[in-house]
Structure formats: C-alpha cells, structure tokens
Structure 1
Amino acid sequence: MKNNYVQILYFRNSFQGVPGEDRQHWRSFLVKLGADNLKGARSEELFVALQKSVYIVYAMLGDVSIYVVGKDEYDELTLSEVIYVIMSCVKDVCGKTPTERLFLDKYGKICLCLDEIVWKGMLENTDKNRIRRLTKLRPPTEV
C-alpha cells in the first residue's frame, strides 16, 4: 500500500544566498507542486513550472519524484537535459525503474552520480558514460 505522504529521499541544499525561511517555502512549494501535478503522471513524463523567475522541471521515475530547479542560464531546456541524465543514471544504478526501497538500497551510489552531474550548484557532467566511469569507486592504482 502506498503512503499518502511525501518523503524527501534526497535533497541537495544548494540555495546559495537564500535565507532559511525561504528554503522551507521552496521545499513546501515543490511538495505541493508535485502533489498537484504528478498524480497519474507517466514515468519520465516531464513537467515545467516557473515561480519567481525560477525554472522547475520535474518528473516521476517509478515511485520517486525528481525536481531540478534553476534560474538565469539554467532555463527549462538546460534543466530538461539535466533531469534526463539524472533519470538515466538512477535507472542504471538501480538496474531498472526504481521503487522507493530500491532507491534507498542504492542511495550511496546515486548520491555519487548526482555529485558528478551537479557540483556546488554548477552543472558539471551530462555524459552518462563519463559519470559511470567517475563513480566506479575503485582504489587508485599505484604509479
């Protein structure tokens, strides 16, 4: 049986310069946005919103809601590319479309992938093969 509440499984707190009370507002806004629009949505169907000159691209991936937020040069087209990479990496790590349980089981590896895609609020990588190589977790080789 599905829960009737939203649980935040991963939240990257990269609101540089945004006061704490505004951060809570954004979290609440995203939860409400998803609750209003993602019911009955197909997996990987993208939705776009604009709030206070901030672009939001979001989608369902199995049981997991994914939101990507940006402004200025990170417009809805850039964010769409980023969310597709995120969804692809999550599916690769999980081996299939994730359930909440599977997402939590693979949580560490998913976090590594997300760190390779976005670092300190800046887009770093969108090449799935490069991200896969960077997250292999192999010990350094001796020189």
Structure 2
Amino acid sequence: MTSFNLFTCSFNGVPAEERLHWRSFLVKLGAENLRGIKNEELLVACHKSVYIVYTVLGDVNIYVVGKDAYDELALSEAIFVITSAIKDVCGKPPTERLFLDKYGKICLCLDEIVWTGLLENIDKDRIKRLVRLKPPTEF
C-alpha cells in the first residue's frame, strides 16, 4: 500500500528556503513511524521547538504542525476535525484516488478549519454549512 502525504499547513511565516527542509523532514518522519499504525492513531513529535501531530487516514498521511499556542493538545484537536471532515467528504477513510477525486471539497473544508495559519473553526456542523457555500444561519 502506498501512502499519500497531506501537508495541511501553508508554511505561514516560514521562509522559502526552509520549506523544503520541513517537507523532507515530515516525509521522513512519516516513513519511519506511520507503517502499521491504525487509522487516526495520533503520533506526536517535536523538532526545533515545533510540535507535529500526524496520523494515517486510509492511504493518506496527515501532518499538522504548530508552535507556541499550537502545542500538541491544540494540534490534536485540529487533526481530529481535519480527519473527521475528510471522512465526511469521502464517506470513508480515503484511498489516494478517492482523496484526489474529492480534493476540491477537501480544500474547502481545510480552508474553513485553518485560515492563514490560524485554527479558525472546529465545529463540524458549521464547517459543513460553510462548505456548502451558503451563509451560516447563526453566529
């Protein structure tokens, strides 16, 4: 089984020359640790005072990275919402093909969850309403 890496971060505040290092580090971290774990089993790492929470969902490896206020507990909450949204969009833990078929809708969900590097929404029902592109009924 092959795995597909999802980098949910847009590298906000990370200089361009460091982005390749982080991508390489995350891929290596996943290759070393994600084999054989169960769907949605969370793993935590720390590198250069940055927290990383990562997991597998179907054929997709998901990494959430943060520092300062976004410690491993906050990132665990964020990754739970992300995996839940992906399962809702795909209807099940995704294969790489299913994930790519639903990529547009998944990106809409991710934009509602994380906006410009900040955790924006964690309410599953609100995210569902927002990605339907209809105005929310309550604030």
**Counterpart code for 1:21:** E
Contact (CA 8 Å) 2:49, 2:67: kept in 1 or not? yes
**Which residue is 2:19 aligned to?**
23
What is the match of residue 31 of structure 2?
Answer: 35
TM-score for the superposition, normalised by structure 1: 0.88
Specify the SS of the correspondent of 2:79: helix
Q: Relative to structure 1, is the Cα distance of residues 10 and 101 closer, same or farther in structure 2, using a 3 angstrom cutoff? A: farther
Of residues 7-16 and 25-34 in structure 1, the stretch that sits farther from structure 2 once superposed is 7-16
Matches within 5 A, 1:105-116: 105-116=101-112
Q: Which residue of 1 aligns with 2:90?
A: 94
How many residues in Structure 1 have an aligned counterpart in Structure 2? 135
Unaligned runs of 5+ in 1: none
Shift of 1:20: 1.8
Distance 2:111 2:18 in 1: 24
Task: Give secondary structure in 2 for the equivalent of 1:84.
Answer: helix
- C-alpha distance in structure 1 between counterparts of 2:89 and 2:57, whole Å: 13
Matched, 1:79 2:75: yes
Question: 1 CA distance for matches of 2:7 and 2:46?
Answer: 22
The structure that has the greater radius of gyration is 1
Counterparts in 2 of 1:131 and 1:79: CA distance versus 1, 3 Å = same
Q: How far 1:10 moved relative to its partner?
A: 5.3
Query: With structure 2 as the length reference, what TM-score do the two structures score?
Result: 0.91
Shift of 1:137: 3.1
**What is the CA–CA distance in structure 2 between the aligned matches of 1:113 and 1:84, rounded to whole Å?**
13
**Contact 1:14–1:120 (Cα < 8 Å) also in 2:** no
2:11 aligned residue (9, 14, 26): 14
Structure-2 change in CA distance of 1:37 and 1:9 (3 Å): closer
1:3-40 superposed Cα distances (whole Å, 9 cap, x missing partner): 4xx65455542331x22221100000000000000011
- Displaced runs of 4+ in structure 1, greater than 6 A? none
- SS of corresponding position for 2:55: strand
Could you report, residue by residue, the CA deviation over 1:101-137 in whole angstroms, capped at 9, with x for unpaired residues? Answer: 0000100000000000000001100000000000013
Backbone CA RMSD of aligned residues: 1.6
Gaps of 5+ in 2: none
Query: Do the aligned partners of 2:7 and 2:64 also contact (CA within 8 Å) in 1?
Result: no
